[in-house]
Amino acid sequence: MDHAPTHPEHPPTVGTPSAGQPSVGQPSGSQRRGRRRGELSVATIAELAGVSKPTVSKVLNGRTGVALETRRRIEALVREHGYQRPGSVTPTAGVEVVFYQLESHLAIEILRGVEQVARTHELSVGFTEVQGRTDPGRSWAEQLLARRPVGVIAVYSAFTPEQHAQLAASAIPLVALDPVGEPVHATPSVGATNWNGGITATRHLLDLGHRRIAVISGPIEMLGARARLEGCRAAMDAVGVRLDDDLVRGGRFYYEDGAALGRDLLDRPDRPTAVICGNDLQALGVYTAAWQLGLRIPDDLSVVGFDDIDNARWCCPPLTTVRQPLAEMASTATGMVLTMAAGGSPPQRRVEIGTTLVVRGSTAAPAIVR
C-alpha cells in the first residue's frame, strides 16, 4: 500500500519559535539547563577511556589529533552507554546530504527536493560523497560532525552502526533516503513503492501482448531491487504466465551492465520480446545491445526502465519507464529530519511514496501479435 508523505505542511522554522515549540537549531528551555541527573557526561566517558575530557570532545566533534586506537575506544564507549551530547551545543544552519556515490542523474533531483524545504527555513544544503574515502584516522562521519549540521539525510542504506552511533551521540538527527533499499536498523527512512512499480511495468507489457518477458534486476541483496523483481514475477503469476528464470539477470545499476546483460539475453534464438530493467541506465545499455544486434525498438523489442532520469526522454525512441519521485522523496526526508531536529518525532518511521508508469515510445505490441 502506498503511503502519503509525512513531512508537515508547516515544518519547524529557524528563528522565532511558536508557542511551546523550539525552532530548528535552537535549544529548548530544558536543553539550556544542561544535562539531567543520571545522564552520562564527557567526564565519565573520559574516565572510562582513561583519557582527558578535551580528547573525548575532539572525538565527538570529529576533530583530528587523536590516535586511531584511542578514537575507537572512545567511540565504543559512546555506543555502549548511548551517550548523547547536551542540547546546549548550537548546530550550524545547514542540512547535510550524504551520498555513497555522487551520481548526477539521481543527485540533482534529490538535492533539488532537499533545497525546496531547506530554503523555506533559511538553511543551507551541503553534501558529502562517501565512496573513495580511505583515511583511517578521520571518517566522513567525523568530518561531518565537525560541521555540526542541523540534520543528515543519508542517500544509501549501507552506513554502519558505528557511523549511526556517532551521529546519535552528537544529537544529530538522521533520515535515510534510499531509492533501492531500506535500512536494516531503526533509522527513519523514505523510499518508493518498488514492488508496485515492478507490477505496473509488467502489466503494461502483458496488456500489449508480451509473454516472453526478460528482467534485468539490480543487485539482489538490495531490498528495493528485489522488490522490483518480485513485483514483475507477481504480475505474471496473476495472469498465469511464469517468469522464465532463464530470462532473469542480476547486475549493477550501471549502463555497462545493461549493455552486457542485454546482449546476453538478446543474442539467442529464443530471445525475449520485452525487457524490464532495474533502472534507466541499464535500459539505455539494452538499447545499445539491441542496436549492435540489429534489433529495432519497439518493433523487435520493447524496453522498460525505472527512475525516469532526463536521459529517458532524450533517447530514441524515448524510454517507457517507472517514475521514481526523487525530489518528493527528498523533500519528505528533509521535513522528517527538521521535525526531529526541533525535538519531535515523525508520524511514521518508514514512508514509501508512489511510483508512476510513464509510457513513451520504447514499448509496443510484440511483432508476432501484430
Residue 270 sits in a domain whose CATH number is: 3.40.50.2300
Buried residues in 173-189 as b, exposed as e (16+ CB within 10 A):
bbbbbbbbbbbeeebbb
- Is residue 46 one of the residues assigned to a domain? no
* Per-residue pLDDT at 100: 76
Q: Which of 56-60, 221-225, 235-239, 244-248 has the lowest mean pLDDT?
A: 56-60
User: Under 8 Å CB-to-CB from 367, ≥6 apart: which residues?
Assistant: 273, 299, 300
* Per-residue pLDDT at 104: 66
- The mean predicted confidence, pLDDT, of the chain is 82
Over residues 290-318, the mean pLDDT reads 96
- Is residue 209 one of the residues assigned to a domain? yes
Over residues 171-199, the mean pLDDT reads 83
And the C-alpha cell for 148? 555540526
Quote the number of domains for the chain. Answer: 1
- Is residue 142 one of the residues assigned to a domain? no
And the C-alpha cell for 307? 527512475
pLDDT at 3 over 50: no
With beta carbons less than 8 A apart as the criterion, state whether 162 and 137 touch: no
**Residue 143: which H helix or E strand, with range?**
helix 140-147
- Is residue 158 one of the residues assigned to a domain? no
Task: Name the DSSP letter for residue 339.
Answer: H
Note down the domain range covering 246. Answer: 194-324
**Most confidently modeled of 126-140, 150-164, 274-288?**
274-288
Pairing of strands 124-129, 151-155: unpaired
- Is residue 260 one of the residues assigned to a domain? yes
- Is residue 289 one of the residues assigned to a domain? yes
> Residue 72: pLDDT band by 50, 70, 90 thresholds?
confident
* Per-residue pLDDT at 360: 98
- Is residue 354 one of the residues assigned to a domain? no
User: What is the DSSP annotation of 221-282?
Assistant: TSHHHHHHHHHHHHHHHHTT----GGGEEE--SSHHHHHHHHHHHHSSTT--SEEEESSHHH
Amino acid at 286: V
pLDDT at 1 over 90: no
**Residue 202: which H helix or E strand, with range?**
helix 194-208
And the C-alpha cell for 249? 539477470
User: Under 8 Å CB-to-CB from 324, ≥6 apart: which residues?
Assistant: 179, 192, 197, 306, 307, 308, 355
And the C-alpha cell for 52? 582527558
* Per-residue pLDDT at 139: 66
* Per-residue pLDDT at 243: 97
- Is residue 308 one of the residues assigned to a domain? yes
